[in-house]
Structure formats: structure tokens, C-alpha cells
Amino acid sequence: MRDLRKYAQQTDRRLIVGGLLILFVVGDGLIYLIYGRQAALAGLICLLIGLIPLVLIWISLALISWLVRRANRE
């Protein structure tokens, strides 16, 4: 029997990583090809700054999940 929750988590993780790779490689690559190196660097900086709120939300949700699992164990 398969663990469907683990499979769903693994699939979600792969989709997120793939989406980010496409965004950074294809998106920033097109900026580089069309506008040049300086614009690609600016685009990369903007993409990284734009990810900060998402990372903070993910960290807070992971922390809440950890606290709930720890409270349920006791």
C-alpha cells in the first residue's frame, strides 16, 4: 500500500521546484537574450526579492505545522 500523503507532498515539491526553475532559467534567460546582461541581473534581483514573502509564509506555516505535531504527540 502506498502512502498517498507522502506522494502528494513529493509531487507538490517537484511542481514548485520545476516552476521556479522555469521562472528563473527561461524568464531570466529571455531577459538576457533580449535586453542584455545588466537587465538580466536586475531581473534576477527582482525575482529573488519577490520570493522573500513566499519564503517567509512557507517558514511560518512549517513552524506552525511542527508545533501542532509536537502538541499532538504530548
Q: Would you state the pLDDT for residue 62?
A: 94
Q: Where are the domains of the chain?
A: 4-73
In tens, the pLDDT along 4-60 reads: 989 999 999 999 999 999 999 999 999 999 999 999 999 999 999 999 999 999 999
pTM tops 0.85: no
Q: Is 5 exposed, middle or buried (0-12, 13-18, 19+ CB in 10 A)?
A: exposed
Task: Give yes or no for residue 73 having a pLDDT over 90.
Answer: no
Q: Quick check: 1 pLDDT over 90? A: no
